Amino acid sequence: MPYSDDFSDLTSGQQLLKQEAHRFASEVMRPIGASLDDLPPEQVIATGSPLWDFFRKAYSSGHHLRGLPIELGGAGLGPLESHLVQEEFGWGNSGLAIALATAGSPFMAAAATGHPDLIREIVMPFVEDTEGKYIGCLGATEPNHGSDLIMILGGGDPWRELECSAYRDGDEWVIQGQKSAWVSNGTIATHCLAILNMRSDVRIRGVGTAVVPLNLPGVTKGPPTNKLGQRPLNQGEIFFDNVRIPAHYMLSQPSADEDGGNEGLAGANAGMSSMFSGVARAAFEEALAYTQSRIQGGVPISSHQVVQKKLFDMFMRVQAARALSRKANQRLLSGLPTQQYSIAAKVFATRTAFDVASDASELFGAMGMVKGVLVEALL
């Protein structure tokens, strides 16, 4: 069963971008991800861990700046270009891809305001960072709130509200509460883009977002979460005990945040769909190569019709996930209504990645459950 991933529809610039992203994914993300997968979560983030080599190499190459405006060093990628890069990074290692994408979230949100003090105090140190010293996280989920954030941000359910809250006190906002053990980069982040329940005034009750430096008094962090999969991705709790931030660090308030919150979730879902299209592709490619080289009964197992049928089904799902993900990214970056497309793309791509990785593991047989074999880590 010959296979070629056809990108003849891409311009020469897009092909070069894809090749550069693939090279970084292959030469940096794959080997570092494999070395981190064997470590306990405390060692993943320890001084001297390969994780820090990854951030240094990513930042020195400017990969952390992709989502920023061109005038601040961003790449100015279009919808297809953004998808190409994120798919390659997901192919390399989904945990590291998520870590890198999340690392820029507070700084991109601050840049979007155009506030000169935020640009100077928050954004420019990140822009000038070539060593991975400034790492962001998104403080959205809480112990009692996960997927219902869609209802909270959309204002569709008055019975739900976030428990991590903020109130105005003069020229400052005071933050109190907790974000869950699933905050990506939570244990290592220097800054948090926190989604908060506004309690200061009945006129502005609802949800707001703030950028919070995590070296402020009152901030503490829990231990890194010990997970079955995506072990290179650090995740952990963040606690806020009367943490004070300047008023201009509150980026948006309820009057403006419903659309912004929905756009933020749409962007996150579209990005995840791109990455997990890459995970699905990685699993398919591994299965295809293995079945063509594995000899059983005197012939490669790929010559058996039942194996060919499974490989074809895997190929079909990978291509469908990629197409839907590209559609979601196209709508997002073109300013079109996106939420239903991005949610559909994220759900379909992650489900496809799991199904294709599971099928790949079956084709590998016992080898699919061996540590150090890529398909085992993809599951």
| String of DSSP letters for 188-252 | T-SEEEEEEEE-S-GGG-EEEEEEEETTSTTEEEEEEP--SS-TTS-BEEEEEEEEEEEGGGEEE
pLDDT at 258: 52
pLDDT at 260: 52
In one-letter notation, the amino acid at residue 121 is E
Cα–Cα distance list, 50 to 32, 65, 184, 364, 376 (Å): 6, 21, 17, 29, 20
Altogether, the residues listed in the chain come to a count of: 379
Name the nearest CA neighbour of 252 among 242, 262, 267: 262
Cβ partners under 8 Å of residue 347, min gap 6:
none
In one-letter notation, the amino acid at residue 38 is D
Beta strands in the chain (DSSP E): 136-139, 165-169, 172-179, 191-198, 206-213, 219-224, 236-246, 250-252, 295-296, 299-300
Chain centre to alpha carbon of residue 132: 17
Residue 282: helix, strand or coil by DSSP? helix
Residue 373: helix, strand or coil by DSSP? coil
Kindly state the tokens that stand for 54. 């990854």
**Complete domains list, the chain, with CATH:** 12-127 (1.10.540.10), 136-257 (2.40.110.10), 258-378 (1.20.140.10)
pTM summary value: 0.93
Q: Quote the CA–CA distance of 212 and 246 in Å, as a whole number.
A: 9
pLDDT at 22: 97
**Rg of the chain over all Cα atoms, to the nearest angstrom:** 21
Q: How many CA atoms lie within 13 A of 261 on its CB side?
A: 27
pLDDT string in tens for the chain (379-residue length) = 445 677 778 999 999 999 999 999 999 999 999 999 999 999 999 999 999 999 999 999 999 999 899 999 998 888 899 999 999 999 999 999 999 999 999 999 999 999 999 999 999 999 999 999 999 999 999 998 877 766 566 555 544 678 899 999 999 999 999 999 999 999 999 999 999 988 755 444 578 899 999 999 999 999 999 999 999 999 999 999 999 999 999 998 764 445 555 677 788 899 999 999 999 999 999 999 999 999 998 999 999 999 999 999 999 999 999 999 999 999 887 777 778 899 999 999 999 999 999 999 999 999 999 998 999 999 8
